[in-house]
Amino acid sequence: MTTSDLLGGLVPPTAIPPTAVPPTALPSAVTEATAAAPPEATAPRPSPSAPSSPSASNATGFSPEKAREDVPILHRTVNGRPLVWLDNAATTQKPRQVIEALAVYYATANSNIHRGAHTLAREATEAYEGGRAAIASFLGAQSPDSVVFTRGTTEAVNLVAQSWGRANLGPGDEILVPELEHHSDIVPWQRIAAERRARVVPVPLLPDGTIDQDAYADLLSYRTQLVAISHASNTLGTVPPVREMTALAHRYDARVLIDGAQAVAHTPVDVTDLDADFYAFSGHKIFGPTGIGALYAKPEVLASMPPWQGGGNMIDSVSFDETTYAPDPHRFEAGTGHISGVVGLAAALDWLTGFGREAVAAYEDQLMAYAVQSLATVPGLELLGPAADRIGVLTFTLTGFDAATIADWLDKDGIAIRAGHHCAQPALAHYGLTDAARASLALYNTAEEVDQLTASLHDLQHSGVGKAE
């Protein structure tokens, strides 16, 4: 299902604006971007064995330039340099198709959904429920009714913890959580475990940043009620063998929640093949709007869960004697949902799948390999977690420089990366660190941008600016 299907007939194609926001409303730096000629990129210093550029030998059938043409923000400047967006694990940039879908919705179909008798209510409801069907198809779910809209992955995990967890956890029960996890897949379980007198059990990592599978197998028992695991790490990029880990957990009748926030933009997902009990992701990590995400749950699991929040939309009937609830998934969606967010997310999925998921994944694998080789030429740079199976996340330290200094230096060259603990303090503690620098790749990044990152880090090393004594 395409965005055109969702918004079909609402406006003629000629009425769709080229951008959702008129140029005069944008910051001056953005409007200057189109007028300013981009400065010549600094070439990386020669290395004994220069890596082979994927753009020069790419046989995947995917061109990052096609994606870049659609993303307006990539054509602005920062500090007089073309923006190099390497903070994709924090959030991805939005194609014009998403921006325009939001504008079209608000300009032509804005209404509250469900129960409305008028035309706009019907159109908004069709777009909203059409978005649910699109997400179910994208995830390989068998029914749209197994998809619950949330604000994102964090709210989805909290929903499972507060609904399923409160109904199923008891004294002595265990929740297995690898040390690899994002805080949003640790803290909700700690909170419900404390309330239900259950226990969160960490699963250790190996030196390469992979989950210790022997330890995982040993920790599983019939006390294990749930395993919470990321499909890909936001800090190390590690891709655990989630299908095999899920199958092993199911031998002990444990449920499995997979945090797909970092995976969905990089690899095709099939929740049926994974046999996941729960799968959560965020729209803004996959080129969609902020504030929208989804939780997939197996139909029989969802049917067994009590509502989490109460209010409008999630009820069937209300009286002071008795309240009955709407069928799944609506009883988990109290209040007015993020309708425009659903429209924008559907447009993002349509845009991404239009390139061919396998072709995009193959290109990103090539770009990641190139980046690893390129960064290896920087003296004193150490990449964390050299796992064989990983997405394009490059978390690193640079001898003599703290993460904030690295990020500030790169920003002066127009390069955006992330510095800090990346909401994954246990994973960094595994390496004896409290913070690190992180560059993260997406389909619109290029080998030339990797070259600019490497060159700027070489320059930082030679400058000595901010170097610790």
Q: What is the mean pLDDT of residues 108-125?
A: 93
Catalytically annotated residue among 121, 372, 416, 423 = 423
Question: Please, is 191 exposed, middle or buried when counting C-beta atoms within 10 Å of its C-beta (0-12, 13-18, 19+)?
Answer: middle
To 5 degrees, how large is the angle CA 356–CA 280–CA 189? Answer: 155
Whether omega for the bond prior to residue 329 falls within 30 degrees of 0, making it cis, is yes
The predicted-structure confidence for 315-360, as pLDDT tens digits, reads as follows: 899 999 999 999 999 999 999 999 999 999 999 999 999 999 999 9
For residue 4, the model assigns a pLDDT of 56
Give percent above pLDDT 70 in the chain.
86
Give percent above pLDDT 90 in the chain.
79
For residue 11, the model assigns a pLDDT of 43
For residue 40, the model assigns a pLDDT of 35
Q: Give SS3 for 89.
A: coil
Q: What is the mean pLDDT of residues 377-385?
A: 95
For residue 53, the model assigns a pLDDT of 67
Task: Report the amino acid identity of residue 77.
Answer: T
The predicted-structure confidence for 157-188, as pLDDT tens digits, reads as follows: 999 999 999 999 999 999 999 999 989 999 99
* Residue 44 pLDDT class (50, 70, 90 cuts): very low
Q: Return the bridge partners of 436, or none.
A: 420
The predicted-structure confidence for 407-451, as pLDDT tens digits, reads as follows: 999 999 999 999 988 988 899 899 899 999 999 999 999 999 999
The predicted-structure confidence for 352-377, as pLDDT tens digits, reads as follows: 999 999 999 999 999 999 999 999 99
For residue 51, the model assigns a pLDDT of 58
Q: What is the mean pLDDT of residues 221-248?
A: 96
For residue 58, the model assigns a pLDDT of 53
pTM: 0.89
Q: Is 423 labeled as catalytic in the residue annotation?
A: yes
| Mean pLDDT, all residues of the chain | 88
To 5 degrees, how large is the angle CA 70–CA 446–CA 91? Answer: 60
The predicted-structure confidence for 9-32, as pLDDT tens digits, reads as follows: 444 333 334 333 333 233 333 333
* Residue 467 pLDDT class (50, 70, 90 cuts): low
For residue 52, the model assigns a pLDDT of 64
Q: Are 372 and 394 in contact (CB under 8 A)?
A: yes
Asked whether the predicted pLDDT for residue 57 surpasses 70, the reply is no
Q: Packing angle between helix 447-463 and helix 357-375, nearest 10 degrees?
A: 20
The predicted-structure confidence for 183-234, as pLDDT tens digits, reads as follows: 999 999 999 999 999 999 999 999 999 999 999 999 999 999 999 999 999 9
Asked whether the predicted pLDDT for residue 48 surpasses 80, the reply is no
Task: Report the amino acid identity of residue 310.
Answer: G
Q: Are 133 and 144 in contact (CB under 8 A)?
A: yes
